[in-house]
Amino acid sequence: MIQDPLRAGFGERLTAKVAERGPLCVGIDPHPSLLHAWDLDETPASLERFAMTVVEALAGEVAVLKPQSAFFECYGSAGVAVLERVLREAQAAGALVLLDVKRGDIGSTMTAYAMAYLDEHSPVSVDAITVSPYLGYGSLAPAIGIAEQNARGVFVLARTSNPEGMGLQQAVHGSGDSVAQSIVDSAAETNQGKSPLGHVGVVAGATIPAGELDFSGLNGPILAPGLGAQGATLKDLKAVFGRALPNVLPTTSRDVLRHGPGGLREATTRIKHDLALMLNA
């Protein structure tokens, strides 16, 4: 596969979309508790109604939509069929789609995962995916390469918002830095020389301590889960990410989805407005 030189890379496409719509990323997480809160049952038909309501309300409004693949996969082939429709229609409405799959493996298996999600001919092709580097950052080479060839992106788990990850991610790497910092630095090496941003982003929770990680050399996007229901605030974003804040994609799911089908757009508009005020302050 040879990348079309006339096709914009992921970093360029993301930068343009954020300039147009703001940096907010909204998750599509059809968790059973949310289905029930919407008076829906746990069936493929309800899954489709939930997910497509979010797409119809928000795919024309936000820069990035982030479906959580597991909540579709658990319904088997019927759920994957719903996911395919979600991806297709979200992209048609202008949103970039980041599929939260957290794939991580080696060799041909990592290549197969990358082809499944990052090749334009795949039925579940998306703009970017989340990947796990905990078999070594080098194990992600197939995904990173295929993403670049197809003008797609990857977001590498670095310092996640769940407390269970702290022990591993804060452990000291052979470089003397934390494991999380070594992942950020490895992504930075991949992104060197790319403009306006490289295609390798990192995932760093908005709930982590301020100053724990140095993003100054990353030259890539930062997916920041934890806004809203997990406790992070807009003020936390500024404290945690500092000068890297312009490259941050603040991510929320439940804080928007809990408002139900009639309140999605209003809740999203409010968060986007507050984000814009904070970024321009």
Q: Which residue, 176, 168, 178, is CA-closest to 212?
A: 178
Interatomic CA distance for residues 207 and 74, integer angstroms: 28
194 given a catalytic annotation: no
Q: Of 102, 194, 238, 272, which one is the catalytic site residue?
A: 102
The span from the first CA to the last CA of the chain, in angstroms, equals 44
Helix, strand or coil for residue 156? strand
Looking at the annotation, which residues are catalytic?
102
